[in-house]
Amino acid sequence: MMALELIKGNVAVAETALRVGLVSYFGYPITPQTELLEHLSARMPELGRAFVQAESELGAINMVYGAACTGMRTMTSSSSPGVSLMQEGISYIAGTELPAVVVNVVRGGPGLGNIAPSQADYTQMVHGGGHGEYHLIVLAPASVQEAVDLTALAFDLAEKYRMVVCLLMDGYLGQMMEPVELPPFVPIRTEAPSWAVGANHDEGTRSVLTSININPAMQEIFNVKMMTRWQQIEDGEVRYKGYYLDDAEYVVVGYGTAGRIALTAVRAAREKGIKIGLIRPITVSPFPTKVLDQLVPGKKGFLVVEMNNGQMLDDVSAIVAKRVPIHFYGRMGGMVPYPDEIGTAIDEMIQSDHDVNRDARGIWLAKMRELVGTGA
């Protein structure tokens, strides 16, 4: 076992990327992810690798597009509004079947919002902020060590499936310091894959990498190919962690920081004798649909916890709805829930009338209006 290092989440992701073979990085500063870019700006020249601070997020993602055509490991990072600017480029990369890693350290919004931690980009990353019919693999860590491990995995999955993989963090994880074990350095791959620009091809041939398909029939064939690949990913790449599910009568669902905080509330509830468990999706795309579906029989209620207005709630509802009552607790705009807030939501779920037709978001929103005092 290697020695543990006390390191900030953003820096841990950056250093891990270097150690697993990152060759080129293109980005633009934005809080709360700037330390990631700052660390790479110092380290990559030391290692003889390419670091470019682009003129904008638009420029950065298109530089990633070009670099990905070489088959070498490339990435960018940003935060919510910056990632919004990248969406066209992400769609182009997806449509060209190129491997790339995008790190999104989410902050409060909409608009410029603030620099506080949030999960408000779930829909943007999981259900596609760009145009067209494509999916991203989206990995959601709940600790700095998990961010390290998933950064390494992101590059492997991007290359395995020739697609964009997103590491979906929040400002809390990006700024938090925890002891981690960083991976060892691996050799930079020197030989380009066969599909890449610059690969060794027969004389007179070359790789043409583009996302344009003028013929609609050919575009449809390509889209079927992409969807078939996505089915394979759904079957083979779902990752999650379950806690106390063996005897659970109630289940909390939360990812990332919200899932981590919810685990504290679940443990407190179990100390009071409540049979409750937690499922924490690690791949929020592909979502652990089959896992949740198999959990439904015999359960008395599901509680979804998020740092947004219930974006994952919609995905859970599509699986669970009309079979088991669904409850929701979320904070928005950069607010982070405390364990005792989630504990109160657990108590309310247990004391509820167990109506499978309840409007989880509407009931939550009415309580939020009272909490924030807007009178809306």
The pLDDT of residue 200 is: 62
Contacts of 143 (CB under 8 A, 6+ apart): 173, 178, 260
Which pLDDT score is estimated for 204? 61
For 72, 150, 179, 185, the CA distances from 2, given in Å and listed in that order, are 27, 18, 12, 12
Measure the CA–CA gap between 107 and 115, rounded to whole angstroms.
5
Domains and CATH numbers, the chain: 5-236 (3.40.50.970), 242-372 (3.40.50.920)
Q: Which residues pair with 52 in a beta bridge?
A: 26
Reported for 364-369, long-range contacts at CB under 8 A and 24+ positions apart, including other chains, are 364/310, 364/327, 364/328, 364/329, 364/330, 368/332
Which pTM was predicted? Answer: 0.96
For 352, list phi and psi in degrees, rounded to 5.
-75, 175
Give the relative orientation of helices 256-271 and 339-351 as an angle to the nearest 10 degrees.
60
| Average pLDDT of the residues in 33-45 | 97
Q: Which residue from 360, 305, 369 is spatially nearest to 331, judged by alpha carbons?
A: 305
Between CA 281 and CA 292 the distance in angstroms is 10
d(Cα 371, Cα 367) in Å, to the nearest integer?
6
What count of other Cβ atoms lies within 10 Å of the Cβ of residue 141? 25
> Are the CB atoms for 281 and 253 separated by under 8 Å?
yes
Q: What pLDDT sits at residue 203?
A: 61
Res. 376 pLDDT band, cuts 50 70 90 = very low
Whether the pLDDT of residue 73 is over 70: the answer is yes
Given a cut of 60, whether residue 375 has pLDDT beyond it is: no
Residues 6 or more apart from 353 whose CB is under 8 A from it?
A: none
User: Tens of pLDDT along 116-171?
Assistant: 999 999 999 999 889 999 999 999 999 999 999 999 999 999 999 999 999 999 99
Nearest to 250 by CA among 269, 235, 236, 264: 269
DSSP per-residue codes, 64-122:
HHHHHTTTS-EEEEE-HHHHHHHHHHHHHHHHTT--EEEEEEEBS-STT--SSB--TTH
pLDDT tens for each residue of 313-372: 999 999 998 899 999 999 999 999 999 999 999 999 999 988 999 999 999 999 999 989
Whole-number Å distance between alpha carbons of 92 and 165 = 14
**Measuring CA to CA, which residue among 177, 176, 167, 174 is closest to residue 33?**
174
pLDDT at 199 over 80: no
Question: Which pLDDT tens digit goes with each residue over 261-274?
Answer: 999 999 999 999 99
Residue type, 32: P
